[in-house]
Amino acid sequence: MLGFINTGNLGAQGCSPSGSVSLTGPVVPTGTWTHVAITYGNSNGLRLWINGTQFGASSSAYNYTAPEVPVTVTLGASLSSAGPCSSGVIATGQYHGSLDE
C-alpha cells in the first residue's frame, strides 16, 4: 500500500499473514508532480522510489502469499478494518489530490 502518514510524509506498507512492513518517506512538495512507486520482491522486500531514486527499503524480505480470491484495490481508504493491513503507518481517510497513471 502507498499512502500518507499523519505527519504528511509518504508511507509504504506491505502486508503478509504474519503482519506488516512499513517505510516512511519524505513530505512530497505541493504544486509539483512527483513520481512515486513501491516495489516488492521475495528476496528484496519492500522498496520506496521517488522520482526514480530509491528512498527506502525494508530491512528484510517477508513472505507474501497472494490470496486465492479476487483482491479489491481502493484509493483513499481501506474497505475493511480487519486483517494485517488494517494497522500500520498509513493514515485512514480520504486522499485529496491528483493521480496520473
Sheet holding 9-16, edge to edge: 2-4, 9-16, 19-27
**Rounded distance between C-alpha atoms, residue 15 and residue 7, angstroms:** 22
Q: pTM for this one?
A: 0.72
| 64, 47, 19, 60 alpha-carbon torsion, rounded to 10° | 90
3-class SS string, the chain: CEEECCCCEEEEEEEECCEEEEEEEEECCCCCCCCEEEEEECCCEEEEEECCEEEEECCCCCCCCCCCCCCCCCCCCCCCCCCHHHCCCCCCCCCCCCCCC
pLDDT for 68-81, tens place per residue? 777 666 665 555 55
pLDDT for 8-62, tens place per residue? 888 888 776 666 788 889 998 888 889 999 888 877 888 999 999 998 888 766 6
